[in-house]
């Protein structure tokens, strides 16, 4: 592989949303001092970090939903109303569309 190919691959990696992780503080990639192995290891490490961030986000979302369900079950066991989480943005928009008039007629004067 030539240097041009390596530079192109590195630039492709910098286009992803978490690309700031592979740049140094001056926002310049020091191509002169990096070897092919350094670039590959940095890209691999960064890819794994991004993947782990995504997995952790999904896991936290699952745990949050499970916690809300458990809280609802706990409340019903003691005779309280089950816990109802607030409406999501999508549900609010659907309710607004249902309640909202799509147009209003104005009287001609």
Mean pLDDT of 83-108: 67
Asked if pLDDT for residue 28 goes beyond 70, the answer is yes
| pLDDT-based confidence at residue 17 (cuts at 50, 70, 90) | very low
pLDDT tens-digit readout, 73-93: 777 777 777 666 677 777 777
| pLDDT-based confidence at residue 51 (cuts at 50, 70, 90) | confident
Lowest mean pLDDT among 74-78, 92-96, 97-101: 97-101
SS (H, E, C) the chain: CCHHHHHHHHHHHHCCCCHHHHCCCCCCCCCCCCCHHHHHHHHHHHHHHHHHHHHHHHHHHHHHHHHHHHHHHHHHHCCCCCCCCCCCHHHHHHHHHHHCCCCCCCCCC
């Amino acid at each position: 592989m030539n240097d041009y190919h390596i530079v192109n691959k590195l630039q492709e990696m910098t286009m992803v949303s978490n690309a700031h992780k592979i740049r140094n503080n001056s926002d310049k990639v020091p191509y002169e001092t990096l070897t092919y192995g350094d670039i590959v290891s940095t890209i691999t490490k960064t890819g794994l970090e991004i993947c782990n961030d995504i997995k952790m986000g999904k896991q936290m979302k699952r745990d949050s939903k499970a916690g809300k369900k458990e809280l609802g079950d706990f409340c019903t066991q003691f005779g309280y109303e089950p816990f109802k989480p607030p409406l999501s943005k999508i549900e609010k928009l659907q309710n607004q569309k249902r309640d909202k008039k799509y147009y209003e007629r104005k009287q001609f004067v």
